[in-house]
Amino acid sequence: MKLNVVIPMYNEEGNVELLHKLLTKTLDDVDYELIFINDGSKDKTYQKLKDIYEKDPIHVRVINFSRNFGKDAAIHSGLTYANAEYTVIIDGDCQQNPKHLLDMMNFLDNNPEYDQIAMVNKTRNKENIINKLLKGMFYSFINKISDTNFVKGASDFRMFRSYVVESICLLAENNRFSKGIFSWVGFNTYYMEYLVEKRNSGKSSFNIINQFKYAFNGIINFSIKPLRIATVIGLIFALGAFIYLIIILIQTFITGIEVPGYASLISLILLLGGIQLMAIGILGEYIAKTYLECKKRPIYVAKNKLGFNKENIL
Ligand code: UDP
Ligand code: MG
């Protein structure tokens, strides 16, 4: 088979039919399979997926999660079932025009030296300035502290050759930060620009708080430098305190005992207390991640699947 399309879906009832129609039209001349993952949607997404499966059982496959496990788990489950020459991940909300799939396939066909294509979001005109600024800060920070390279705007809208998919599936970590994983596995990546379209129906699951959580998660997952930063800050303060102690001792011997100011004392205590709590917090984040990974829980649980061999239609 030439192409597998992996499509994570969370509350996308209004987009299933249109996306299926667009994909079917675009991939008319291609040997393909669509792997839809219903990530515990609370609306009628699964019913809609079942409808398109019944209409088009040759091309449609559905993995139905037992609850919401998140987009990264959905992507992982789709990739584990992919077996085509190329596999592409595309959002289920029609923001990424399927016409780009043909460009990507064409590019890989003609450029054997490239192993994966990452689509880079062209700035959405109406994107809020604060959002843009925060994203810019995130990329420059994570690139400074992580050995993995993160290209600004590179999305999960990617096409891989089969061996890249196999490598990605080898990373069995539970807490998955897909963007980092796609970059960590290496390979020769081509970055292609595209214009993000408006969501066809429904609303985005990634509000500003979720985006913060996502960014924080990415930093903890792909760098241990925050731990080192905490150590360095601690060392600097300890050294400062030691020098200050010597100064105070000398002053005491020369000019007699002096009672330092209340305000400076309180601010120092609060500052040091704050830094200590922050350092413990950073440590805690890594311990928590280690604890969760140690349990070796599955990345997702599927209630049933449609279109695969051991079919179990509910
Ligand atoms: N998604 C998912 N599970 C989630 C959240 C989102 O599978 O818990 C899917 C969603 O259905 C969509 C894609 O991930 O196909 C991107 O989500 P969204 O459009 O909300 O994000 P945005 O485009 O705003 O970054
Ligand atoms: Mg979207």
3-state secondary structure of 43: coil
Answer yes or no: is the C-beta of 10 below 6 A from any ligand 1 atom. Answer: yes
Determine which of 11-25, 39-53, 60-74, 237-251 has the lowest per-residue pLDDT on average.
237-251
Answer yes or no: is the C-beta of 95 below 6 A from any ligand 1 atom. Answer: yes
Report pLDDT for 215. 86
Pick from 124, 133, 233, 217: nearest CA to 177: 217
Kindly report, residue by residue over 185-241, the tens digit of the pLDDT.
989 999 999 988 888 888 887 777 888 888 888 889 888 889 988 889 888 988 888
Answer yes or no: is the C-beta of 74 below 6 A from any ligand 1 atom. Answer: yes
Summary mean pLDDT of the chain: 89
CB atoms within 10 A of CB 242: 10
Answer yes or no: is the C-beta of 13 below 6 A from any ligand 1 atom. Answer: no
CB 39 within 8 A of CB 70: yes
Interval 285-312 mean pLDDT = 87
What tokens does 234 get?
């601690």
Answer yes or no: is the C-beta of 12 below 6 A from any ligand 1 atom. Answer: yes
Residues of the chain with pLDDT > 70, as a percent, come to 96
Report pLDDT for 204. 82
What is the DSSP-derived secondary structure letter of residue 152? T
Best mutation site among 79, 91, 138 for ligand 1 pocket (most ligand atoms within 8 Å of CB): 91
Report pLDDT for 238. 85
Determine which of 131-135, 151-155, 300-304 has the lowest per-residue pLDDT on average.
131-135
Q: Give the residue extent of every domain in the chain.
A: 3-222+299-306, 225-294
Residues of the chain with pLDDT > 90, as a percent, come to 57
What tokens does 128 get?
């809020």
pLDDT surpassing 80 at residue 127: no
Answer yes or no: is the C-beta of 71 below 6 A from any ligand 1 atom. Answer: yes
CA of 95 to the centre of ligand 2 (A): 6
Kindly report, residue by residue over 258-298, the tens digit of the pLDDT.
666 777 788 788 888 888 888 899 999 999 999 999 999 99
Best mutation site among 5, 6, 10, 124 for ligand 1 pocket (most ligand atoms within 8 Å of CB): 10
Provide the CB-side half-sphere exposure for 31 (13 A, CA): 6
Contacts of 59 (CB under 8 A, 6+ apart): 24, 32, 33, 34
Max avg pLDDT among 210-214, 253-257, 309-313: 210-214
CB 222 within 8 A of CB 148: yes
pLDDT surpassing 70 at residue 312: no
Question: In ligand 1, which atom is closest to the CA atom of 37?
Answer: 7
Query: Domain 3-222+299-306 belongs to what topology?
Result: Spore Coat Polysaccharide Biosynthesis Protein SpsA; Chain A (3.90.550)
Report pLDDT for 124. 59
Consecutive H or E run containing 160: strand 154-161
Answer yes or no: is the C-beta of 40 below 6 A from any ligand 1 atom. Answer: no
pLDDT surpassing 60 at residue 153: yes
Number of H helices, E strands in the chain: 10, 8
CB 194 within 8 A of CB 120: yes
CB 116 within 8 A of CB 159: yes
Report pLDDT for 273. 87
Report pLDDT for 135. 83
Q: How confident is the model at residue 74 (pLDDT cuts 50, 70, 90)?
A: very high
Token match 């069995």: residue? 172
Question: In ligand 1, which atom is closest to the CA atom of 91?
Answer: 15
pLDDT surpassing 50 at residue 314: no
CA of 236 to the centre of ligand 2 (A): 44
pTM of the model: 0.84
pLDDT surpassing 60 at residue 311: no
